Structure 1
Amino acid sequence: MDSLTQIVLGAAVGEAVLGRKVGNKAMLYGAIAGTIPDLDSFAPLFTDTLTAIEIHRGFTHSIAFSLLFAPIFGWLIAKIERKSNVSWKDWSWLMFWGLLTHPLLDAHTTWGTQLFWPFDLRLAYKNIFVIDPLYTLPFLIFLILAMRSKRGSIKRRKYNNLGLIISSAYMLCTIGLKGITYYKFKNALEDQDISYLQLQTRPSPFNTIMWSANVELEDAYLIGDYSFLDSKPITFKSIPKNHYLVHSFKNENNLDRIIAISQGWYAISKRGEKLYFNDLRFGSLDPNADNPKFVFSYLLKQENGELIVEEVPRDPEEAKALLMELGNRMIGN
């Protein structure tokens, strides 16, 4: 999830764990704990594209990280806050839950997390977009109300608990919506007599009214969308896999790595003489185009006999146009 959401969640967890004893300082350190796992976002400054992607939401988003570093951070805070008369164990407990709830929340997004690192298992429930105002804003409002209430008061605890309960209830609701839309897509494929290998669904950006589906066929993928406000049947657009275009790279380790990152949901496109690896899990920037560009696309090129993978920068204008189109599409087809 986005940084603001993780800060709000961390602060609310900090308040729940230690708010009675230290007041707003519990929120402060909870917010810090909720931010720490995303320090892996700075990996591109120090390493290559593929390694940075593999690191993202890896070790820092694991149970192991929470267990190892919570006591260290707890000890540091206990040194800083000597006058609070709170033990390092209490601070460690606050940091543990702040660090752990971050990846637990991220696991609901499309990218997911390696919660059980070092095992190569990425949890991705795909039931909420990384930025969802309906999750964050009510949570933030209740957190602010709690922050402004007297330390240890019933009102303060009530506001904080309401924020946690309402945000969690909304999360459960998105899981239900995902289940409904999955069967909408499944039924549409059956009605159109389409045989498929796999079907995955995910919410569209910033909302849970409209959902998208990736459908794997033998030589292509179908991409479709469905809004709860739709009145017409679901239609699908075909994207050729074009995996044959990278057969010459089949012994390249970097190709295997980017395929593993995409979890096998990828299509190859060619523009001019350039080859692009497109991760289909996050959708396209221009879904109606014949040769669409994708949110996560990587240029494949050979340098000194080695396959180089470079992430293609996203055009802000294309993203703006996509959001406008998304707004119109949400209200029904």
Structure 2
Amino acid sequence: MDPLSQGTVGAAFAQSTGTKNNLFKIGVIGFLAGMAPDLDVLIQSSNDPILFLEYHRQFTHSLFFIPIGSLIVALFISPFMKSSMNFKTIYMASFLGYATHGLLDACTSYGTLLFWPFSDERITWNNISIVDPIFTIPALILVASAIKTRKRKFSFFAIGWIIFYLSLGFIQYDRALSAAHELAKSRGHDAERITLKPSFGNIILWKSIYKHDDNFYVDAIRTATSSTGCIGESIAEFDYELHIPRLNIDSQQAKDIERFRWFSQDYLGFDKEKNLVTDIRYSMIPNQIEPMWGLLIDENMDVSAHAIWWTGRDLDQTQLDLFKDMLSGKKCKITL
């Protein structure tokens, strides 16, 4: 999730071990430790534009790295805190803050290598958006209240809210999943693969993606008092022979596509206009296939040349209004 959410959750759990005299400092340690795993974004290469995809949410987010990562954070913070608390207290706060990070990231759809180095599977529970103010703001207020009042009960209230909201996300996911299956069934489709992810900032409007034959179907599912759908678009599954037949299969670009396939969990499409291999999971509007990122392919490039990383995250007023209408239910009226 976003850094503020990660820090807030880390602070809440760290404060659960504090006393009224050190809740602020314990909270700071937990906040910093909760954000620390995302320092892996610094692992980049000017020669390999998608190296960061392989290392973000990798070893720093693994459950097995928690003792080491939290120790590094504690050693960094200790010189600033040693006059007021011992190293054991610092390490415990750091451990709890750091431990929340990978688990919280696994709740999103991006993918987290929780079991690295024993598995390279990207864990995605899909029960919360990467950014969700409804989740973060109440937790942040409660953490701040614990500091202001010097009462640890507010930290536990924050933890309770965090667990409640994430649990509600799982319930909403199941509702959206049932609706998505009904939508596929209404089309006479046998959904070979299906995934759902909450749209930006909420757990009401979901993006549904399923595969039937050689096509992906993208729709929006709204789960409020009842489940309704916004019919979306479809796109052919990426295929070398169909989309880029002249690309040397042994080229670096082909290798980059396979790395991107792993990252996207094999939800690959192709934008012919841009000559772009896309990640179908992500779009600004949940029932559309307009990509947020992908790999630009040039079949005339040298076999040793990397594919070019492309991003497009612009959201104009028309799209924003459409998103608001879908979220409010004005556009999603097909009962499922």
Above 0.5 in TM-score? yes
Which 5+ residue runs of structure 1 have no aligned equivalent? Answer: 151-155
1:189 equivalent in alignment to 2:184: yes
Residues 12 and 47 (structure 1 numbering): CA distance in 2 closer, same or farther, change over 3 Å?
A: farther
Which 5+ residue runs of structure 2 have no aligned equivalent? Answer: none
Q: What is aligned with 1:202? A: 197
- Residues 250-279 of structure 1: per-residue CA shift (max 9 Å, x gap): 3332222111111110111211xx510110
1:299 equivalent in alignment to 2:296: yes
Q: What is aligned with 1:245? A: 243
- Aligned pairs for 1:275-294 (under 5 A) are 275-283=275-283, 292-294=289-291
SS of corresponding position for 1:100? helix
Q: TM-score, normalised by structure 2?
A: 0.88
Aligned residues: 321
The structure with more helix, counted as a fraction of residues: 1
- CA RMSD, Structure 1 to Structure 2 (Å): 2.3
Distance 1:308 1:162 in 2: 49
Residue 163 of structure 1: how far off its partner (Å): 1.0
Distance 2:249 2:46 in 1: 28
Paired letter, 1:176: I
Distance 1:127 1:185 in 2: 15
Residues 249 and 174 (structure 1 numbering): CA distance in 2 closer, same or farther, change over 3 Å?
A: farther
Residues 105 and 232 (structure 1 numbering): CA distance in 2 closer, same or farther, change over 3 Å?
A: closer
Q: What is aligned with 2:159? A: 164
SS of corresponding position for 1:116? coil
SS of corresponding position for 1:83? coil
1:128 equivalent in alignment to 2:128: yes
Residue 172 of structure 1: how far off its partner (Å): 0.1
Distance 1:164 1:239 in 2: 41
| Contact kept? 2:49, 2:306, Cα under 8 Å | no
| Contact kept? 2:14, 2:92, Cα under 8 Å | no
2:263 to 239, 247, 261: 261
Q: TM-score, normalised by structure 1?
A: 0.88
Q: What is aligned with 2:4? A: 4
Residues 269 and 82 (structure 1 numbering): CA distance in 2 closer, same or farther, change over 3 Å?
A: closer
1:66 equivalent in alignment to 2:63: no
Q: Percent identity?
A: 24
Q: Which has the higher contact order (CA 8 A, sep 6+)?
A: 2
SS of corresponding position for 1:178? helix
Paired letter, 1:260: W
- Residues 28-65 of structure 1: per-residue CA shift (max 9 Å, x gap): 11111011111122334666222111111111111232
1:92 equivalent in alignment to 2:87: no
Residues 228 and 162 (structure 1 numbering): CA distance in 2 closer, same or farther, change over 3 Å?
A: same
| Contact kept? 1:72, 1:92, Cα under 8 Å | no
| Contact kept? 1:300, 1:307, Cα under 8 Å | no
- Residues 119-147 of structure 1: per-residue CA shift (max 9 Å, x gap): 21211111111111111111111111111
Distance 2:6 2:310 in 1: 27
Residues 300 and 286 (structure 1 numbering): CA distance in 2 closer, same or farther, change over 3 Å?
A: farther
Distance 1:324 1:277 in 2: 28
SS of corresponding position for 2:272? strand
Residues 280 and 233 (structure 1 numbering): CA distance in 2 closer, same or farther, change over 3 Å?
A: closer
| Contact kept? 1:110, 1:282, Cα under 8 Å | no
Paired letter, 1:116: F
Residue 241 of structure 1: how far off its partner (Å): 2.1
| Contact kept? 1:71, 1:89, Cα under 8 Å | no
